[in-house]
Structure formats: C-alpha cells, structure tokens
Structure 1
Amino acid sequence: MRIATTRARRPGRSTTSAAALLAIALGSAPIGAEGGSDAEGLTLFESKIRPVLIEQCYSCHSVEEGTAKGGLQLDTRDALLRGGDGGPAVEPGDPDLSLLIEAIRYDTHVQMPPSGKLESGVIAAFEEWVRMGAPDPRVPVDAEAAEVAPMDAPAIDWESARSSWAFSTPTRQEPPAVSDPTWVRSRVDAFVLARLDAAGLSPNPEADRRALARRLSFDLTGLPPEPASVEAFVVDGGPDAVGRFVDGLLASPHFGERWARAWLDLSRYAEDQAHIVGDDASLCYPNAYRYRDWVIRAFNDDLPFDAFVREQLAADLIDPDDEEGLAALGFVGLGPKYYRRNSPEVMADEWEDRVDVVSRGLLGLTVACARCHDHKFDPIPTEDYYALAGVFASTVMFNRPLDDDAETKKSGEAEEPEEAIHILKDAEPTDLNIFIRGNVDQKGPVARRHFLAVLSDRVDEPVPLGDDSSSGRRDLAEAIADPENPLTARVFVNRVWGQLFGRPIVGTTSNFGALGEPPTHPELLDDLAARFVSEGGWSLKWLVRELATSGTYRQSTDITDEHRSIDPANALLGRMSRKRLPVEAWRDAVLDASGALDRTVGGPSIDPSDPEAGRRTVYSAVSRLELHPMLARFDFPDPNTHSDGRARTTTPLQKLFVLNSPFVTRHAERLADRLAREAGDDPSSRIELAHRLLFSRPPSSTEEALALDFLDADAGDPSRAWATYAQALIASNEFLIID
C-alpha cells in the first residue's frame, strides 16, 4: 500500500470540532468523551488492523520486505506516525485528517490497496482505530525480532500463565475483619469495607427509601417503580423490607426484559446484515426476535447460567425435540453472514466472528487476536484459534422452517427467511489448517479441534472438541460451562456487578488477559464467583439479590471531600455511583409516565421513535446496515460486533431530540392529559403526581412554586402550558439519572 499524497492544512488550524465547541458552550462533554480504553483499542488493532496491514500493505511498505514505496513503512508504530513522502500516515484521533484513511477510502487519486477497495467493514474498523488514538503495541522490527523465540522453543511460559489470577479456579475467600461489623449485611460488604478501612474511608449511609426504590426498580426491571409501591416501601419498617421489595422485582416478567438487553449487546444481536445487495434480503433474519424472546424467557425462568450457555451453543444436540429451545442457537446463528458463500476469505471472517463472540462474551479472552499469529500478550497460540474456528467451520447457519407449511429447499432450509427460525447446525466435521499470517492461501499444519490449552488440564493435550461425526459444539459448551473453568463464572459475575454498581470489578469486562485491567477487589470477585456456582446454582436472580440487598449497594450517592481526595473514581465503593439511564430505560420511563406503555412480553420488533409504538425499547428493530438514529444518538452499541459496555456521551443532539422529536412531544402531551385525568383541576395535585411519576418523590415547595409561576404565565393556553411543563420535566437531568 503506497501513500504519498500531501494535504495542505491551514496555519494554526485547531483540531477542536464544531460539535465539541458547541458541547463546551452548553456545558456538556463532546462526542466520544468516554471512548474506548487502551485495552479495547489494542484488541481492535490485533484483531482487525494488524492482519490487514500484513496481508495488504507489508509487501510494499515494510522493513521485513525491504521496501518503502512513497517513503512509507507500516510495520512499526513509529514508522506509521512518521509517515512517508506525504507526511504522517495517521493523525491519532482524527480519521478525516489521516492519509491512511483517505487512501483506503479511495477519496483521492491515491487508492490503496491498488488491488481493490477494502470492504466497508474493514474501513470502518480502521476509522474507529484511528478515532481511538491509533493504539499500536508494535516496536521497531529489529527489537521485535530480538524478542521472538526460535521456532523450536516454547513461545509461552505455561506455568507462569496458569498461575495468573484469571486462570486460577475461583474459591471461597474468608471475609476479612472490619472496623464496623454492624455495617456488614452480606459477605460482599466485608470485602468492600476492608478496602475502605485500609484507605481511611468510611462508607456512605443508606440512601433514602424513595431513591433506593427507584434505583432498585430501574436496575432490576429497567422500569420506574409504581408510586404506590414506593409509598408502601417507605413505610415498611420490617427488618427485611429491602429484601421483600427486591423479591417482588425479581418475580416481575420485566426482569427478563431488562437483563436480556444487556446480553443482546454481548451477542451482537441484529436482524439484518451490514452488507445488502439491492433488495436481496436472503441473508437477513426477520424472525430474529425469537432468539430475543428466548433470552427474556430464560432470565425470567432463572435458567441456570451454565445451562443458558450450553443451550446457546448446542440446544439442538442437547434436546433436539424442544422446538422453542432451538431459538437459543441464535447466539451464533444470528451473526454476520456475508455474500460469496463458501469463499475461503469470507468464511474465515465468519469463523472469526463466532470465535470472538464466544471467547470474549463467555470467557473474557480475546482469542481472535491469534488469527494471524500467536497472541502477543496472552497464552493463546494460533493453533488454539484455529482449533476453535474448526468447530464453527464444522457447522452451517440454517433457516429452519417454522412449520410444515413453509416451502423448503432441497437442503431442508426454508425458501424464505420469513418462514424460518435462524439457527446453526452441524455440517461435515472439519479440522482447519492454520492460515499463515491469516492468509487463506498459505496453509500451515492442521489444528485438531480442541479447547484452549491454558484452560485444559494439560496444555500438551488440550480437551478435544468433536470427532469424525460431530462439530464439537456440545463439547465446547461443556468445557465453557464446566464449574472448574476459572473464567466463565468470574466473567459473568463481573458483568452483573458492573450493571448494578455502574463500574465492574474488572474494568475490561471482555478482556481478562494481560492487557485487561486487574480487579479492584480480587478476593471479592473470587468469593462471589465461587458462591455463584456452589450456593447460587448459577442463578442470576440469586446473584442479583445477593448484590442488591448488600449494604454496599444501598449506600447513598453523596460525595464527600474524603471521596474526592482519596477515591474520586469510587473504585473502593465508599458510595454508590450515580448512573445514567440507557436509552431503553429512558424511553420506557417516558412511555410509563405518559400511560402509553404496553407491558406485553415478547413478540416482533418495533420502531422506537414511533409515538404510537408503546412496546418496551428492548423490542426495537436492530439493524447492522443502518442503526436506528434514535438508538444511535443515545449510545446504543454497534450490533456488527460483540459489545462489552455502553459508551456514555453527552451531545447537543441528545437534548435537541428531547426538545423537538415527535416522540417526546407527543408523550409530553399524553403525560399532561394523564395529570388532568388522575389529579383533577388542582394544579398542585397535578404537579405532585408528575413528580411522583417521573422522580418517585413529591416536589419541594420551591419546585411547586416555580411550576405554578410558569403555568400562570401561560394561563391563556393551559393545555399547551401543561404539555410544555411535562416536557421540561422529561428533559431534566433528574429524570435521566439514577441516584
């Protein structure tokens, strides 16, 4: 790949965007204020960027090949930043000012690679990598070569690797002695308080009942609490009032809807493809919602998490007669699917997606980084990658007919996707060759299907997956769900903790490897993971109850001077962190307040911006080709890939949406009508009901006085005044924030 174009830049040009300036003017953070971590960027580089550079660029731009066309080399970080004849190839943080991006976009006469434009998804990955600051672990080639072991020497110190905290099976830990045993409501609290004691911090007092009711209701069901239930909770003086309130939420059918959405982020749930040729929708998934419904039902029924994992990988092999259960296979079966079926390059990309979503989603390991070379940081050789890829190469994605009336191809698939449930099934068992540097045309030795060596009893004899008659999917499911597997329970417990507390114990929830963050409370994580399996029976509801009733969770969000000076990020959990509602909970709360929420569980997808669509936001249609603008505006993740967390941006467009969108204005009108209908003609009664519906509390005297002044000022058109007032409350920070 040759890049020699120069670009004139105006003297003194600032890199601050107009959006950033407007955001600053409005007192908000610019777009992307909380972008990906270094670990996420390096993972993106290893899995998406380095392989393309090797395959497409190094032949013309590398020290190894002895060539630097246009004066440019791309095989080290420094060379990339130094650039060639045209200047730096990359402007970290700004794709639009990066010559490399300009070239691969084919924006100018310099179009690279010259053999043909890269696929849009690859270009998008490069753009995102540059936007994240172009993180790059590569060192100068001579230094890199000096660090590489000879081919006949072991590249991985297995003994050292297996002694890492992440690869040691979690066990129950003895709760430590603490300064105030009376504060400890559960084992969780002892571990937290011990860290606070060591730092000289005291935990916050318990939050007031109204704030706690709102927090619990949103965290457990994704919906605001009913005003009557809040009042009952406030006056409940029983010793287990919190436990009873939590139990009611755990029994709600809306529990599964809230927790399913978090899982759908991980499983890159979508209903179409990023690439659609014309009106050819043959690779889309019109009945994808059946997988979504299965996940909701599984969480509502408290299906043990080990069974939850097994069924998503091998439901057809575990119970082939369970027609409803087959929908679980959408975890893999709804993944990206590309045209040019059976092309080696295309299938290799699909296998990488399957390995990635399984390894990062269930094990917290970036196994796909080993597609082109041994993992640079973790004990995952390339052979292990192809051993897992072989499992998915031994399957096919399959449109199983919904019923006997569906027209069927000779293969047994439904003729039309609308008549099918989208799953996968075993095909001819296949052991893949290792592709040298990820190149499908350069085949190395065969990698027999097996589980990751570092997670097997013997690294020299990893657990085999499949045989001449099976893909190995069921064996893979059993290996992942094995209670002796050190990662599966740890990873899931950490994800649940992050959902409830606003920050996980391990900050990199899908990377427990060397580039990931270490746990802030390792003993707590181990104890929880071990008890989740042994005491909780892999039950999500057990785990949520254990955390939601703890003293740590019940703390207020008040920030003291000691918090600011000693633990400003709240890593030690001396208070509860405020959380912003995700778009799903925010939209659902708007519907609930206006009285338009349809609480029906399950079913086909909706348009979330349609003012007449009252279904919960979890039922929104999700497109890989064009993510719904409303969802995208409020930080919904890219469904093209596994997502381990939501970005949290604050932008002018978000507030403009709340002020101007037909969805919000229509439901503000409905809320105003509801206030009149349920509270009568008394303005004070309406104002009080509005606060109880939106904030789970009565208004202060100051708030009531301000509202009355506003309404009196527009007394000539009371309907419009009340709708505007309702919209102002919906647009408030308090409505958006969980305290």
Structure 2
Amino acid sequence: MLFSNLVLLILGIPPDPGGFVEARAILKERCFPCHGALKQKAGLRLDSASFILKGSEQGAVATPGKPDESPLIQRVKGQGKLKLMPPEGKPLKPEEIETLASWIRSGMKAPKVDIGEDNPALHWAFSQPKAVEPPAVANPQWNKNPIDRFLYQAMIEKGVAPAGLANPETLLRRVTFDLTGLPPTVEELERFHKDPSPKAYEAVVDRLLASSAYGERWGRHWLDVWRYSDWYGRRNANDILNSYPMIWRWRDWTVNSLNQGKPYDRMVMEMLAGDELAPLDREVLPATGFVLRNHFRWNYNRWMRDMVEHTGKAFLGLTIQCAHCHDHKYDPVSQADYFRLRAFFEPLQVRHDRYPGEAPPRPFKKYVVSENWAPFNTGLVRVFDEGLESPTWFYTGGDERNRVKEKGSISPGVPAFLAKEKFAVHPVKLPKESVYPGLQEFIRQEEREARATAVAKAQEGVNKTQGMKKKLAEAQLTAARLDEKSLFARLAADDARWLGKGDAVQLAGKAAKSEKELNLVRAELALLQAEDAPPKAPTKQAKKAAAPVTQDQAIANAKKAVDAAKTKLNEESISYTPLTPVYPEVSSGRRLALAQWIVQADNPLTARVAVNHLWKGHFVEPLVATTADFGRNGARPTHPQLLDWLAMEFMKQGWKMKPLHRLMVTSRGYQSSSSQTEEALQANKKTDPNNRLLWVFPSRRLEAEAVRDAILAVSGNLDRSLGGKEIHINQGMTTPRRSIYFAHHGEGQMEFSETFDGANTNDCYRRVESVRPQQALALANSALAREEGARFSRRIQALNPADNQRFIHLAFQLALSRKPNAEEMELSLRFLQGSGKELELARHDFCQALFSHPDFTTLR
C-alpha cells in the first residue's frame, strides 16, 4: 500500500486511502479478460470503481462496507451454490480476497482518476503506423540519420547523456559480425584503421551487405523466427513425425532470397503460398517449407493448430492460439476468428516433386497407424491444396472430437478488428505442368535418357555373352527396347490428353497396350531368370520365414505371372501408368489471399513486427520486448514514434531489408561506444537502469553459430561453400562448414549449438542466453577448439612472424580484431617464454586460449 501511494504521488495522483489500486491490480490479473473493456460477461465490468458500483445484469456485485454480503467476494470464495470465480486457473489466494474485501469494507472509495481500460480496438498496435517526421535536434552529430534524431530526442527528454563513438576496430568487428556472423580479416581491420571516415564505413557496410555471408547470418535469424527444423520425431526408429525430409531447400531459399535482396512481403507470400503464386518455379516452391515445417504426421489437427499459432506470431505478432478454446482474453480475437484463420490452411497436403538430376522421390503416403515413414533424400517437397471445399469444423474445449456440426463448415476470414474491407478468396487455376509434372521437359528428357542408357547397356550385355546366357541377355535387351517404346507411347498419350496433340483415346489405348506388352516381356524375363538361377543356400531371412521359396516355387510363381500378363494383354484398356502423380487442377487460393492480406500496406502489424526483429538483430533489445506478442498483454514500444517511422520507411523502400540494415548500422546510435566514464554511467543508470534509451551501445555474447564459425574463420579452416543437404550433428566438431548447414531439430542439435544456447526449434522468437561452465569447457577442451587452436597457430607461423611479439600481435588481431594492450602483451610473452613447452606447442596453447578470452565471444 505504501509503495502504491508513493507511485501515485510521483504520478501526481492523490493517494489511494481506500486500497482500490491494490484491489484493481488483482482484478486486472484475474478478472479483466472476462469483465473488462474487451468483454463484459453478464454485463459486468470490473476495470474501474464506477463500473463495479454499477454492477451486472443481475444487480449489484458489491455493497460498500459489507464485503461478506457482496456477491463479488462470495464468488471469489465459491460460497454456497455460486460458481467459483474466476472459472479458469487457480482460485484467488486468501490474501488477495482480503485485499478486495478490505476495499469494500472501507467504503469502496474510488480515486479521483477512475479510468477503465482503453478500448481494445484502439490498442496502439491495432492502428496503422503514423507517418511521423523525425524530430529536429540541435546536436549535429545526432541530426544526420533519422534514427538518431528519435534516439537523441528521447535521451534529451529523460536527461541522459549518450556515449561517444566506438573505436574503429570495435565498430568494424561489431558491424562485420552483425551483418555476416564472421569476424573481420586483418587486412580489413588495417584498411579501416587507416581510413575510418563515414564514407569508408559506408563502403564497408555496402560490401558486407553484398557478401553471401549476409544471407547466412540473417537467414539463421529469420529461421529462428520461422521455426526452421529438419525432420524429427523418432529418429532412432527412422520414423518421421515432425517437419519433413528435404526441407533444407527452404533453408537455402531463405539464404538466397536475402542475398538477392528479395522484399520481405514477397518472402512472406512465397512461404505461405508459393505453390499458388509461382506453381512451376523451383526457386520459389521450397519456400513452402514454412508450412511443411509445422507438419505433424500423426495428427492433421496439430498441423493446423501450429499453422495458425506460428503464422500469427511470426508475421502479425499476435497470440492467436489463445483463442483456440475460447475467445482471446486480452485481444479482440474470437474463437470463431481462430477457426476462420484455420480454414485458410484446411485443404493442405504434401506432395513430392521430382528435381532435376535426382532420382524420382518416393511417393507421398498418408499416415497409417503403426506404420513407419522413413526419410528419403531426393526431390522437392512442397505443399498443395488437396480439395477446394475442405471443411473446417468448429469444435469446443480444444478437442477436435467435440465438433459442432450445426454451425456448418467455417469459411476463411480474418479478425474483424483488422479487416479494412470485405475479405475475398479467389481460386487459382494451375498450369498443366503443375497439375501433371510428367509434362515438364526435364522429367521427359531424363526418362528418355534413362531408357536409352538401359538399351545401350542391354545391347552391350548381348555382345559380351555366349551360350545359354545369351538367351537371357537377349530377353533383357527386348525388355529394355519395349520399355523405351512404352515410354514413347505414354509420352504421346500424355501430349494428346493434356495438350490436345492427337486423338487422346486412340493414343491412350496404344500406351496401355504397349505397357501390357512390356509387362508380359518382363514376366517372361523373370521366368527365364528363375529357371536359370543356380541353387542358393538359404539366407538368414529365408531360414526365419515360415516357408522359404524354393526354385520350383519361384518358377511356378513366374509362370503364373506370365499367364496373367497374357490375359491382360487381350483386355481392351485406355489406362496406362503416368510418369508422375496427377494433382488437382485448381488450388483454393486461400493461402494466397491470407498472404496478400498480411502484407497489405494497411495491415497495422506486419511491418512493425518485421522491423522490430531487424532492430533486435542490431541493437540487442527490440523496440517491443515481446517480439511475438504486439497485443494488449505484450510490452509497449520503448520508442513508439521510431517504430512507426521505421515501419513506414520499410514499406516505402518496397519492403527491402538491406536498405533498412544500412540505415540502422550507419546511425550514430549504432556506432556508439559500449562504455562510458564511471561518472556518466552511474548518472545515466539512475534515470534509465536498463539502457532502454540506448545511451550506450549494449554489449552481447555472440550467438552459438557465430562462436563456432569464428573459431573456424580465425584458424583459416572455414568452408565458405553455400547450401546443400543438412550435415549430421555429430560432424559439428570435424566438418568445417558454417553452422547454419548442420541438422537442427527437436531431437538434437550440434554440440556447440546446444552449449551456447542455439535456437529452440519449438519456439524461438527470442533466444535465451545463459552462462554455464560447459561453455568455458567447450572453448578450452573440445576437439574443435584444440584442433582449430593448433591450426590457428600454424596459420600465423606461416606468415613468418619475426618474433613472439609479432606472433601475439597477429593472434590478437585475428581472434579479437584488435591489438593487445601493454598488460596483455606482457602476460602473453611471459606465457610463451615460460610455459616449459616447445615454442610451437606453447603457441598452439596460446592461440587456443584466445578462444576463451571474453572479447572473443563478446560483441562490444
């Protein structure tokens, strides 16, 4: 109570002798979701004293001076037949009930400022960003970049003094790691040290943004937000449950899109609806890995739930999943809205497309109870809409078995408070080559080449064999030629059916007959092989079988197959085996409509959420601390006008990220030092103890990937090749690829990733950061640190340093991006000269020890 009254005095509000402030805090925490501005069950609002006095539809809920007779107290106690309130969660604690009762007992006095909650629809994040002009500031150092004008104005208003500029070496290390995830080279350090001018710095920024390492560094950041995960579930049983094989193509799409400067809005659309947006573009289709990552093979409904939750969090900063079982407790998202959003994804299914130069992928198969689904390593996995009218059923209690079919199938739609106009979905007619991939020329060409190769190989077999074996070889050649003939017949039939080139029925009949002729020849070949097969000792598997197949039985079975093929040959048919599966000719257009709505310029959330992530990547703390919750239960922005200006600028720049990166890292705020004089530091901390105003640049520890990649970079062993299939996590200590390319899933991560707080694959809108002894041990004792420490030493020795002093100087520059100070030089020389080891081994130990230096893992 004393603390609350003190706060009120500071705010210029008279004290609260009746205790309403304390009581309101309890009501806000436990009762406002159902009895506040968002919702008023039974017509009752509890967010102001006047509303409480007004009561509910049933009458008064509290009588001044009589808490025991007040329904409010009776409800929270659960007295008599009254339903206990609140209905969900734990009951109020006795001391909380007493706080409410005390306020009623004292006469229910209201403070002079008795204001209820704001209208939820008017929440700051639900209104469009405002086009604000950056404030003019008198300090010329803070008046060049629009970002600085906002930052400096806030500092001046609060009376804090900004730090000076970072030194050139610190700044170069900071921006190089921020944009590429790698340290600067010695040559880059020396070049920038000679010319640290603003123009030279801008040239550095442009060079880094043009580097392929930019896409890898920021690709990993966005893949955190989008929950990238390789397949997992039951890896020990080789059984896919979560995510999907070959999803690494989505990771590569992310890296490539960022390097190409693809606009953010386009990336969002491709991830949600690349198959509807560009159904034949193999550079776009992997983007639907965002949808596939949420796939859960055992339960389709969980796939749908994850799609709603993480589409809301990743792109809109909304916790839509909170409306799964009931209306959202804080935001104006109803349970009906939840199911309308789910309906966008309801038609989803998986398909495996063929990829140039790779063997045909295994066909997709829907889940069968107790049947494993082993991973595969070819093809382009993607999503498609299986049905135009896939129903979405409303269900209760979060249990899909409790369907309310009386409501009928729910149509796709967006929350009313965000809908600026009537929402429309238009089906997308797909090109024939997407409906039937067998029309794609690369597939046809590869099939033709495979048949030609088989014929040539069979002909070679005939030429090389003699006697009885020649008959078998000739049969194999006949089968190969008929297979080629059958392929040509099927291609002609496909042309007629899909492209109108010829009589479709006649050519389908020829293709069917040719395929049946091939089947007969293959059956006859199998009979020859059975008759020619020498007796074999039974295998272990055959011994275990109840009745192992003898040669006589194999011959008998082959003869039956020949007879069956002959019978089929005489049957009239126009059915033949297509080169690939056939898919629906029309996609629902639902996901494309959703994606287009998300990135509309009048959507108040999307641009704000995106720039908040970008800001966090450079300034450590985001402008909105709750990166995945911009709703009423989330944090308010520290610099609301700056956030709006950045969002507007982002859209003005065509949603391109590189210009925004450039704007942020060329700001005076970004180039500030991470230290101040003790006097200035203490003065600023009194006003802003958490540095939310950015009066000093916030130091941070490098993320897991950057720690490992930096070790490999300074040793000269980092493999900079781009892309490709995921690398097994067990190879993290031995394979020098960048960390982004290693497998990352719910059943395990690379050792360095786990040790240094790599992304949680389930939910990582912000990484956690811990300090654990295992981190120091990894830098001191791991196989990677030992091996690369020695290689680091050999790299310096190859430069022929004149003496130990020069060796130490180069080691510091490579590892820490700076020169050693006098004390460090003295200690380093003493170590090398007095270790008792041969100089070469002492240098190895010294270089490895630098990995444990605080400045190696810290970005200042």
TM interval, short-chain normalised = 0.7 to 0.9
Pairs within 5 Å for 1:246-285: 246-275=205-234, 278-281=237-240, 285=244
Q: Which one-letter code corresponds to 1:627 in the other structure?
A: Q
Distance 1:73 1:656, change over 3 A: farther
**Partner in structure 2 of residue 17 of structure 1:** none
Distance 1:220 1:497, change over 3 A: same
Q: Which one-letter code corresponds to 1:450 in the other structure?
A: G
Match of 2:420 among 457, 460, 468: 457
Unaligned runs of 5+ in 2: 1-28, 35-74, 79-83, 101-115, 368-372, 429-585
Match of 1:369 among 322, 327, 330: 322
**CA distance in 2 between partners of 1:166 and 1:598 (Å):** 43
**CA distance in 1 between partners of 2:231 and 2:289 (Å):** 13
Preserved CA contact (<8 Å) 2:286 2:380: yes
Q: How far has the Cα of 1:614 moved from its partner? A: 1.0
**CA distance in 1 between partners of 2:167 and 2:362 (Å):** 60
Distance 1:159 1:425, change over 3 A: farther
**CA distance in 1 between partners of 2:768 and 2:241 (Å):** 32
**Partner in structure 2 of residue 735 of structure 1:** 856
2:171 match: secondary structure: helix
**Partner in structure 2 of residue 594 of structure 1:** 715
**Partner in structure 1 of residue 348 of structure 2:** 395
**CA distance in 1 between partners of 2:297 and 2:265 (Å):** 31
Q: Are 2:120 and 1:161 equivalent residues in the alignment?
A: yes
**Partner in structure 1 of residue 402 of structure 2:** 442
**Partner in structure 2 of residue 293 of structure 1:** 252
Q: Which moved more, 1:287-296 or 1:275-284?
A: 275-284
Match of 2:663 among 514, 532, 546: 546
Q: How far has the Cα of 1:164 moved from its partner? A: 1.6
Q: Are 2:434 and 1:481 equivalent residues in the alignment?
A: no
1:438 match: secondary structure: coil
Preserved CA contact (<8 Å) 2:699 2:858: yes
Q: How far has the Cα of 1:466 moved from its partner? A: 6.1
Q: How far has the Cα of 1:410 moved from its partner? A: 8.2
Deviations 1:14-58 (A, max 9, x none): xxxxxxxxxxxxxxxxxxxxxxxxxxx99xxx9xxxxxxxxxxxx
Q: Which one-letter code corresponds to 2:397 in the other structure?
A: R
Distance 1:263 1:182, change over 3 A: closer
**Partner in structure 1 of residue 187 of structure 2:** 228
**CA distance in 2 between partners of 1:75 and 1:632 (Å):** 40
Q: Which moved more, 1:405-414 or 1:563-572?
A: 405-414
1:605 match: secondary structure: coil
**Partner in structure 1 of residue 144 of structure 2:** 185
Preserved CA contact (<8 Å) 1:391 1:465: no
**CA distance in 1 between partners of 2:281 and 2:601 (Å):** 25
Q: How far has the Cα of 1:436 moved from its partner? A: 1.1
**Partner in structure 2 of residue 197 of structure 1:** 156
**CA distance in 1 between partners of 2:334 and 2:827 (Å):** 65
**CA distance in 1 between partners of 2:211 and 2:140 (Å):** 33
Q: Which one-letter code corresponds to 1:555 in the other structure?
A: S
**Partner in structure 2 of residue 331 of structure 1:** 290
Q: Which moved more, 1:665-674 or 1:180-189?
A: 180-189
**Partner in structure 1 of residue 363 of structure 2:** 409
**CA distance in 2 between partners of 1:243 and 1:410 (Å):** 50
Deviations 1:553-595 (A, max 9, x none): 1110114222222212110111110011001111111001111
1:647 match: secondary structure: coil
Distance 1:690 1:452, change over 3 A: same
Q: Are 2:623 and 1:505 equivalent residues in the alignment?
A: yes
2:588 match: secondary structure: coil
Q: How far has the Cα of 1:335 moved from its partner? A: 2.0
Q: How far has the Cα of 1:465 moved from its partner? A: 7.7
Q: Are 2:483 and 1:520 equivalent residues in the alignment?
A: no
Preserved CA contact (<8 Å) 2:760 2:767: no
Preserved CA contact (<8 Å) 1:370 1:382: yes
Pairs within 5 Å for 1:90-169: 160-169=119-128
Distance 1:623 1:469, change over 3 A: closer
Q: How far has the Cα of 1:202 moved from its partner? A: 2.0
Bigger radius of gyration: 2
Q: Which protein is richer in helix relative to its size?
A: 2
Pairs within 5 Å for 1:336-347: 336-339=295-298, 346-347=299-300
Q: How far has the Cα of 1:363 moved from its partner? A: 0.5
**CA distance in 1 between partners of 2:587 and 2:207 (Å):** 47
Preserved CA contact (<8 Å) 2:136 2:143: no
Deviations 1:319-346 (A, max 9, x none): 112112111110111224132xxxxxx2
Q: How far has the Cα of 1:74 moved from its partner? A: 11
**Partner in structure 2 of residue 114 of structure 1:** none
**CA distance in 1 between partners of 2:231 and 2:121 (Å):** 40
Q: Are 2:654 and 1:537 equivalent residues in the alignment?
A: yes
**Partner in structure 2 of residue 571 of structure 1:** 692
Q: How far has the Cα of 1:178 moved from its partner? A: 2.6
Q: How far has the Cα of 1:607 moved from its partner? A: 4.4
Q: Are 2:752 and 1:630 equivalent residues in the alignment?
A: yes
2:393 match: secondary structure: strand
Q: Are 2:643 and 1:643 equivalent residues in the alignment?
A: no
**Partner in structure 1 of residue 842 of structure 2:** 721
**Partner in structure 1 of residue 559 of structure 2:** none
Q: How far has the Cα of 1:702 moved from its partner? A: 1.6
**CA distance in 2 between partners of 1:228 and 1:362 (Å):** 40
Distance 1:441 1:557, change over 3 A: same
Preserved CA contact (<8 Å) 1:675 1:689: yes
Q: How far has the Cα of 1:526 moved from its partner? A: 0.3
Preserved CA contact (<8 Å) 1:176 1:190: yes
Q: How far has the Cα of 1:489 moved from its partner? A: 0.6
Distance 1:466 1:452, change over 3 A: farther
Q: Which moved more, 1:447-456 or 1:581-590?
A: 447-456
Q: Which one-letter code corresponds to 2:420 in the other structure?
A: D
Preserved CA contact (<8 Å) 1:465 1:476: no
**CA distance in 1 between partners of 2:374 and 2:749 (Å):** 27
Q: How far has the Cα of 1:276 moved from its partner? A: 5.1
**CA distance in 1 between partners of 2:166 and 2:194 (Å):** 15
What is the TM-score with the length of structure 1 in the denominator? 0.76
Preserved CA contact (<8 Å) 1:361 1:642: no
Q: Which one-letter code corresponds to 2:827 in the other structure?
A: L
Preserved CA contact (<8 Å) 1:452 1:462: no
1:694 match: secondary structure: helix
Match of 1:606 among 723, 727, 733: 727
Distance 1:275 1:514, change over 3 A: farther
1:551 match: secondary structure: coil
Deviations 1:114-169 (A, max 9, x none): xxxxxxxxxxxxxxxxxxxxxxxxx99xxxxxxxxxxxxxxxx9993332210111
Give me the CA root mean square deviation: 3.1
Preserved CA contact (<8 Å) 1:386 1:434: yes
**Partner in structure 2 of residue 619 of structure 1:** 741
**CA distance in 1 between partners of 2:391 and 2:117 (Å):** 24
Q: How far has the Cα of 1:623 moved from its partner? A: 2.0
How many residue pairs end up in the alignment? 595
**Partner in structure 2 of residue 663 of structure 1:** 784
**Partner in structure 2 of residue 557 of structure 1:** 674
Deviations 1:635-680 (A, max 9, x none): 11221x2310110100111112222211111111111111211243
Q: Which moved more, 1:424-433 or 1:657-666?
A: 424-433
Distance 1:550 1:638, change over 3 A: same
Preserved CA contact (<8 Å) 1:449 1:466: no
Distance 1:607 1:273, change over 3 A: closer
**CA distance in 1 between partners of 2:361 and 2:419 (Å):** 45
Q: Which one-letter code corresponds to 1:553 in the other structure?
A: Y
Q: How far has the Cα of 1:180 moved from its partner? A: 1.6
**CA distance in 2 between partners of 1:456 and 1:158 (Å):** 23
Distance 1:704 1:379, change over 3 A: same
Preserved CA contact (<8 Å) 2:732 2:751: no
What is the TM-score with the length of structure 2 in the denominator? 0.65
Preserved CA contact (<8 Å) 2:233 2:241: no
Deviations 1:678-706 (A, max 9, x none): 24351111100001001111111221111
**CA distance in 2 between partners of 1:252 and 1:426 (Å):** 37
Preserved CA contact (<8 Å) 1:611 1:667: no
**Partner in structure 2 of residue 124 of structure 1:** none
Preserved CA contact (<8 Å) 2:245 2:377: yes
